[in-house]
């Protein structure tokens, strides 16, 4: 069953990510139903907007428990942008609020010695081997749009960083849980490469 569950918790603009999944011939379903999620081979947690609102949406739909259960069963989970931030313990955006706690650490505002939000194409610097980044190389450009960044508690979780005043974790993972701070679906051919890696891992 090579279908991906895109978690539906009321965030908009999933069109591009859906189209890119289709481009690499991955079947997807937009859902918040636990049985459907359980039947899928992998989970994609999207996200734009603010952490607090998103985490409230996730909790109110019971998705936090579903996602934690799926993670503990070893299912591959990928969070993109805010979806990646939600994998962490907590965020300071709009006051402290709690995430899924699947990767240890917190999410905080990018220090304002640089322009915030961080918008545009920035280069990846691989820090650890990661299957998601197979065929990618240091200096490959991907597209970022965010004001907050993840601060993982353990540096083993950081697989790639990008330089923006500070080193911002761009790819994080722990066991079967992965997160991208950038948008693969907006990152042209590099993004497409990463989606192909994702497909190999999902199947």
Partner 1 sequence: MLCKRIIPCLDVKDGRVVKGTNFVRLVDAGDPVEAAKAYDMCGADELVFLDIEATNECRKTMCDIVRKTAAEVFIPITVGGGVRKMEDITELLNAGADKVSINSAAIKNPELIREASQKYGKQCIVIAVDAKRNTDKGNWEVYVNGGRVNTKIDALEWCIQAEQMGAGEILLTSIDRDGMKTGYDIDLTKAVCNSVNIPVIASGGAGNKKDFLDIFTISKCDAALAASLFHFGEIPIPDLKQYLFDRNIPIRIAEKEV
Q: How far is the CB of 163 from partner 1 (least distance, A)?
A: 6
Q: Pick the binder of partner 1 from 26, 159, 191, 194 (CB under 8 A).
A: 191
As a whole number of angstroms, the distance between CA 197 and CA 203 comes to 10
Write the CB contacts of 151 (distance below 8 Å, at least 6 apart in sequence): 105, 106, 107, 108, 169
Q: Is 48 in the site for partner 1 (CB under 8 A)?
A: yes
The residue from 81, 93, 136, 146 that is catalytic is 81
| Residue 133 in the binding site for partner 1 (CB under 8 A) | no
Per rule CB under 8 A, is residue 122 in the interface with partner 1? yes
- What is the footprint of partner 1 within residues 167-186 (CB under 8 A)? 185-186
Q: Do 83 and 13 touch, CB atoms closer than 8 A?
A: no
> Is position 118 annotated as part of the catalytic site?
no
- How far apart are alpha carbons 44 and 24 in whole angstroms? 15
Euclidean distance between CA atoms 162 and 190, whole angstroms: 15
- The reply to whether 152 sits near partner 1 by the rule CB under 8 A is no
192 binds partner 1 (CB under 8 A): yes
Number of residues counted as binding partner 1 (CB under 8 A): 35
Site string for partner 1, 97-116 (x = CB under 8 A): ---------------x--xx
Q: Is 22 a catalytic residue?
A: no
What whole-number distance in Å separates Cα of residue 96 and Cα of residue 169? 20
User: Is 81 an active-site residue?
Assistant: yes
Phi/psi of residue 99, nearest 5 degrees: -105, -155
Q: Is residue 8 near partner 1 by the rule CB under 8 A?
A: no
Q: Output the CA torsion 92→74→160→11 (10° steps).
A: -50
Is residue 75 a contact residue for partner 1 (CB under 8 A)? no
Give the span between the Cα atoms of 161 and 82, in whole angstroms.
16
Among 52, 126, 143, 199, binds partner 1 (CB under 8 A): 143
Binding site for partner 1 (CB under 8 A): 12-13, 15-16, 19-20, 23, 48-50, 112, 115-123, 141, 143, 145-147, 163-164, 185-192
């Amino acid at each position: 069953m090579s279908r991906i569950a895109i978690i539906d918790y009321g965030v908009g603009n999933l069109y591009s990510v859906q189209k890119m999944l289709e481009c690499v011939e991955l079947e997807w379903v937009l859902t918040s139903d636990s049985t459907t999620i359980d039947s899928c081979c992998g989970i994609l947690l999207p996200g734009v907007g603010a952490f607090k609102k998103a985490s409230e949406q996730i909790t109110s739909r019971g998705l936090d428990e579903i996602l934690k259960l799926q993670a503990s069963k070893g299912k591959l989970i990928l969070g993109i942008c805010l979806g990646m931030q939600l994998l962490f313990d907590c965020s300071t955006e709009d006051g402290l609020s709690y995430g899924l706690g699947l990767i240890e650490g917190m999410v905080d505002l990018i220090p304002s010695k640089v322009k915030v939000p961080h918008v545009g194409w920035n280069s990846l610097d691989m820090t650890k081997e990661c299957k998601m980044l197979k065929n990618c190389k240091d200096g490959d450009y991907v597209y970022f749009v965010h004001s907050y960044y993840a601060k993982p508690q353990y540096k083993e979780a950081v697989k790639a960083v990008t330089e923006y005043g500070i080193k911002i974790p761009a790819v994080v993972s722990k066991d079967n849980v992965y997160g991208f701070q950038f948008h693969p679906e907006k990152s042209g051919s590099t993004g497409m490469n990463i989606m192909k890696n994702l497909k190999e891992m999902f199947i």
